[in-house]
Amino acid sequence: MKEELITKAYEVAKERYAALGVDVEKVMEQLQKVAISMHCWQADDVLGFESGSSLTGGIQTTGNYPGKARNMEELRGDILKAASYIPGKHRLNLHEIYGDFGGTFVDRDQVEVKHFESWMQWAAENGMKLDFNSTSFSHPKSGNLSLSNPDKSIRDFWIEHTKRCRAIAEEMGRRQGDSCIMNLWVHDGSKDVTVNRMKYRELFKDSLDQIFATEYKNMKDCLESKVFGIGLESYTVGSNEFCVGYSVQHQKLITIDTGHFHPTESAADKVSSMMLFVELMLHVSRPIRWDSDHVTIMDDPTLELFQEIVRCNALDRVHIGLDYFDASINRIGAYVIGTRAAQKCMLRALLEPLAKLREYEAAGQGFQRLALLEEAKALPWNAVWDMFCLKNNVPVGEEFIAEIEKYEAEVTSKRN
């Protein structure tokens, strides 16, 4: 697109927003600082680099689009390719199963910092900071219960795994000079009715106490709840109430995965409620009827979620990550669409004429508030977005489609 045209539209947009008390230049600076933690697992359908190749733990990818990354080199290449179409500097969120195991099998209770040495180097070279996740799924000992398993040897195995993951996250955080956010999600649950709801939760709580016994300075722990997993429909040990209760008591972060609530529940409304007590991590996803992990788009729930972050003035206390895995479309395209969508939602949230809206609300002017909220939807935020892309030297608008098609023709379509 012509630079001149983008600049012209941007200047007009700036005036429109200024009339409503919004400083577009300042918004651009704020957006520049918003780092999104890109999840490494969209590139290969959550398989990772252990020997096993099937995904368990109640999560599923569907689709068999050709070209998924088959090894670390391909995965890194794909992520860098995707990042080249996304404005700004972002983070990379790794799962333990993506370690650099050097072609040997390293069991989960044996993982060490050295298995992430090459990742830390790679991330530093590419100006990316890392976040981390322990991995309870896709392992012979995963079963239906990991950290809440009544069998002590299995429980201890996962406790050891998670402790080691925290030590790795600590080292990542120390080296990058910025906290590594480590998410802890376990799939533990039951397909059918259980008469031991309390027992498993007690065990989970006890395992967490053991895992968190070591205090670290350069990493932050998050707990992620869930409604249910596939094959684990009747009961989830780490329910929302469990995770909120534990996190508030122990001052851990809460991860809000937008696919982990009942379909009519608003994830956005949770931000202010939880923010008052703990810091937050987000897994921005797109649930369709269930936790289907479709690619994030600029839909109303996502927009409302980001509006809440801005309205709560919580940009520095909410860590934003993505979590979806669609195997039915070009996976690099999936990264680009989802990350850009999250950024667009954030931009629109930052451009909201909040001062004016709050003035109306304080004066009890309900009609005026609703009218401006409606009109704000049609303000020229897209001109600001185009300028943001231009300034960041990434494709403006749909220009990235052709580029991803080219990468597909030259690289990913040749994988089998």
Rounded CA separation 114/124 (Å): 16
Q: Which of 284, 340, 325, 292 is nearest to 308 (CA)?
A: 284
Cβ-based neighbour number of residue 169 at 10 Å:
29
Residue 324: CB minimum distance to ligand RNT, A: 8
Question: How many helices and strands (H and E) does the chain possess?
Answer: 14, 12
Does residue number 59 form part of the binding site for ligand RNT (CB under 6 A)? yes
Does residue number 283 form part of the binding site for ligand RNT (CB under 6 A)? yes
The residues carrying an active-site annotation are: 185, 224, 226, 257, 260, 283, 291, 293, 323
The footprint of ligand RNT on residues 306-345 (CB under 6 A) is 323
Rounded CA separation 208/162 (Å): 9
Does residue number 286 form part of the binding site for Zn ion (CB under 5 A)? no
Beta strand pairing call for 189-190 and 286-288: unpaired
Residue 92: CB minimum distance to Zn ion, A: 16
Q: Which of 133, 146, 148, 339 binds ligand RNT (CB under 6 A)?
A: 133
Q: Report the sign of the C-alpha dihedral through residues 315, 316, 319, 322, in that order.
A: positive
Does residue number 220 form part of the binding site for ligand RNT (CB under 6 A)? no
Q: Are 253 and 281 in contact (CB under 8 A)?
A: yes
Q: Which of 221, 257, 293, 352 binds Zn ion (CB under 5 A)?
A: 257
Q: Which of 323, 326, 352, 408 binds Zn ion (CB under 5 A)?
A: 323
Nearer to ligand RNT, 46 or 172 (CB): 46
Residue 182: CB minimum distance to ligand RNT, A: 11
# binding residues, ligand RNT (CB under 6 A)? 11
Nearer to ligand RNT, 131 or 386 (CB): 131
Structural tokens at position 68? 């998924």
Helices assigned H by DSSP within 66-196: 72-83, 117-125, 152-176
Does residue number 45 form part of the binding site for ligand RNT (CB under 6 A)? no
Mark 221-250 with x for binding to ligand RNT (rule: CB under 6 A) and - for no binding.
---x-x------------------------
Residue 361: CB minimum distance to Zn ion, A: 33
Does residue number 41 form part of the binding site for ligand RNT (CB under 6 A)? yes
From its phi and psi, is residue 255 left (phi > 0), alpha (psi between -120 and 50) or beta? beta
Q: What share of the chain is helix, strand, coil (3-state, %, to 5)?
A: 45, 15, 40
The footprint of Zn ion on residues 46-105 (CB under 5 A) is none
Q: Where does this chain bind ligand RNT (CB under 6 A)?
A: 41, 46, 59, 133, 185, 224, 226, 257, 283, 291, 323
